[in-house]
Amino acid sequence: MLNSQVHQTVNSSPTSSSSVFLLNKSSFLSPSHHGSFPLRPWSISGRNLSGDRVKSVSNNIRASVSKSTTTEKFVKVKGTVTTRLTISGNLTNVGLNRALDDLTDVARRTLLIELVSSELDPKTGEEQEPLKDFAHWIGQDMEQVRYECEFMVPVSFGEIGAVSVENQHHKEMFLKDIVLNGFPNGPLHINCESWVHSKFNNRDKRIFFSNKSYLPSETPAGLKKLRKIELTRLRGDGKGLRQSYERIYDYDVYNDLGYPDKSDELARPVLGGPEHPYPRRCRTGRPPTKKDPLSESFSNDFYVPRDETFSDVKQLTFQVKTLDSVLGALIPQIETRLVDQNQGFPYFTAIDSLYNEGIHMKKTEKGGYFSNGLLPRLVKAVSNEANELLRFETPELLDRDKFSWLKDEEFSRQTLAGLNPCSIRLVKEWPLKSELDPEIYAPQDSLITTELVERQIRGVMTVQEAMKKKRLFVIDYHDLFLPYVNRVRELEGTTLYGSRSLFFLEDDSTLKPIAIELTRPKNGNKPYWRDVFTASRCNATSCWLWKMAKVHATANDSGYHQLYSHWLRTHCATEPYIIAANRQLSGMHPIYRLLFPHFRYTMEINALARQKLINAAGIIESAFSPDKYAIEMSSAIYAKEWRFDQEALPADLLKRGLAVEDPNADHGLELIIKDYPFANDGLDLYAAIKEWVSFYVNHYYPKPEEIESDTELQAWWTEVRTKGHADKKDEPWWPVLKNQDDLTGILTTIIWVTAGHHAAVNFGQYHYAGYFPNRPTIARTNMPVEDPTDEEFKSFLKRPESTLLDCFPSQVQATTVMAVLDVLSNHSPDEEYIGEEPEPAWAEEPKIMAAFERFQGQLKELEGIIDGRNVDFNLKNRAGAGVVPYELLKPYSDKKGGVTGMGVPNSISI
């Protein structure tokens, strides 16, 4: 906190003489434990919901004042309020309400502006009456509209700590900023960058605090009550249907994914509770369905708090509108064009034609799905006036090496540098063993035997030696998937196995696939079935069976990646952090301001996912393993695997046995696989985040007792555990919050998950899975050796390629997933990247700004380090002929580097 001395120009009676005096009282000059800094002007950057950065200046102000014969003196201050015209706000204000609002503007009463003092009235000991004036329209410049107000500020008023705004229009406004002019040393800017509801919807005034950050115990006396009032409003009362203009944060279970009123087939269980543990989402208050009182009815408008919604830039560009186009127009046309929903690809050349020749799509009456340019990456050309040509961009993986998907080396490499590099684990016990009941499922001991492994590694070492040297690794979905196998197999057009994939670590840090085990459990009187497939080159039949086993193992990995590594660990688990922060941390709290950029757009994209992607019969259920049980299975994985204390990258690597603690190694960890691109780059990024957060925490909390006594901070962390992740509230592994290290660890984990982890599992989706033979999302047929009929086995022997193609996703499934992944792996035009811009409040503290600049420097250095790694041919998992370089964790955006090298966004915004 700065020691500030504020002098202002004061107006008094005409007979007064001029002199200089100190405006602020002594209480305003008291130093804090943060230290004292030289008085100087400072500039800050603000963010608006349209994606622009706004620069503002706040000053310690000196001015000449008039000496009056009266006891009170005043400063004449003129305020300029800037609002932004928006598609969803001002531009839709038409009809009768628009006419009434025009009259309001004519009457010069558009916005009621109130200046709130940070000091109490010395006479009454109560909050001072705010200074009020109506702001009236003075002009418009492009998309911005300006209003003006004027105040006579008493000398005794003290520092302005907040501004409240009442919108007299019938429609909401997007308030950009308020600038108070009249001070010799420059204007005072108050950044708003938020929506202000109409007073006709809600009589509560919007509150905007100054950019100075305050712990609860340091809150200026005049703002204490207002700080509590604002938090109370944000929490709401837990009742009623939420309205689009509201800013209320509350919790609910995931009970809106099914449509029981449409069909029993579309009913889905409630996720959240003892039977299906799950994180909580934002409460909308929609009424229950008719058939199931526990399920929430569907609506085309999914409520999220108003400031969590997308900007107009994001609304109008490829992110949301393109997804709407893909789901609402493109996919139905694909289905019509292909007719047979279950039709597969007859030849591999038919798959290639998606990128070379494309699919002819009939134009609509409105000029085509793509005439608006919303699908630029999908559409390459228009064939004629009657048709459009849907031609997919060639994924980088296919462009670099058309046959890479067939290679075992690439199959293994992608476990470390692909789309889901967070599932591989060290084998710590031998033999591999299931924890499931053998009377219900299958024998517990794996069929992958010691003899089989030693035969596959050609006697290089024994299994025991390999275990001792940490050379055996596994991706194990056996126990997670097996309970769902029989239910999935009852569905048409799909199948499922429990799977294990075993790998051997070579001396050059590459992995060699050893075996894939597939298991079908018992089903009534039908016994279990299981088999092991290897990369043997003994004969043609075993080679084709190995290819098909890889399809099943990869489909399982695709489902796990989308359901858990991506959706649950980032999107779903983060929403409770956001809800709790807005309910318990004031907007002026320094920790809120640290986390704020990492929460941008997440609640809106999550609502969109519930509405279009993870819902009953949505994209995930329609085209990913395990079909309609996908989201239910994510609950089972959450119950079994998710732990907050293991979400930080170092803890995750230790848990999976991919690293051991070593105080002499970089970041205190020694990687077991030296060339592990996700871990190599991720640990560097994680360490930079932790250093920045550590300085920030220690700056605001020099003593550990200040953390324990911070009522807002403790309430936030308690609510994250007990409400946001209520089904795990009693777990002993939750970090405590007693000192600086505790808080640093918690905040670093959250920032890593929202920035680094999400970038690693999201933005490579199209380039790794856009050519679906490399990464099929679903397997539709059983292995040819699982209880085949004579005819089926003869067909496999005669034309194994057809059997493999039949196992791949259907044409509708494949093209649907390709189109959706193309959208979901793109960056928004208004994306904000980690370390790119400081938050406004950080510029209030010179030491914080200096630390942030050091953070920026570390990230720029990391850019060069990653570039160097990607051209080091000793690192075979990220460099070499036809190898896709690992760029998903490059911090800054490189528009020329392709999708995978476009930077690490601050938040989960897609």
The C-alpha angle 48, 52, 55, rounded to 5 degrees, equals 85
Among the options 566, 589, 598, 725, which is catalytic? 566
Per-residue tokens: 379: 């559409």
| The residue type at 352 | D
Residue 178: phi, psi to the nearest 5?
A: -125, 125
- Crossing angle of helices 348-356 and 811-824, in 10° steps, is 40
Instruction: Give the 3-state secondary structure of residue 516.
Output: strand
Which residue from 336, 310, 304 is spatially nearest to 323, judged by alpha carbons?
A: 310
Per-residue tokens: 314: 């994001």
Catalytic residue list contains 667: no
Among the options 589, 757, 758, 827, which is catalytic? 758
Contact of 564 with 572, CB cutoff 8 Å:
no
Catalytic residue list contains 97: no
**Residue 599 and residue 256: Cα distance in Å, rounded?**
23
Catalytic residue list contains 201: no
- Using CB atoms within 10 Å of the CB of residue 776, give its burial: 0 to 12 exposed, 13 to 18 middle, 19+ buried: buried
Catalytic residue list contains 202: no
Instruction: Give the 3-state secondary structure of residue 117.
Output: strand
Among the options 7, 561, 571, 827, which is catalytic? 571
**Residue 629 and residue 484: Cα distance in Å, rounded?**
8
**Residue 564 and residue 570: Cα distance in Å, rounded?**
8
Q: Which residue has the tokens 């531009």?
A: 91
Write the CA distances from 453 to 41, 457, 504, 641, integer angstroms: 69, 6, 9, 28
| The residue type at 528 | Y
Write the CA distances from 909 to 19, 251, 904, integer angstroms: 55, 20, 11
- Crossing angle of helices 677-700 and 740-752, in 10° steps, is 140
Strand (E) or helix (H) holding 46: strand 42-47
First to last CA, the chain: 37
Tell me: cis bond preceding 626? Omega within 30 of 0 counts. Answer: yes
Which residue from 874, 308, 795, 394 is spatially nearest to 596, judged by alpha carbons?
A: 308
Catalytic residue list contains 566: yes
Among the options 248, 424, 605, 910, which is catalytic? 910
Among the options 167, 211, 556, 762, which is catalytic? 762
Which residue from 760, 732, 736, 425 is spatially nearest to 570, judged by alpha carbons?
A: 760
Please give the positions annotated as active site: 566, 571, 758, 762, 910
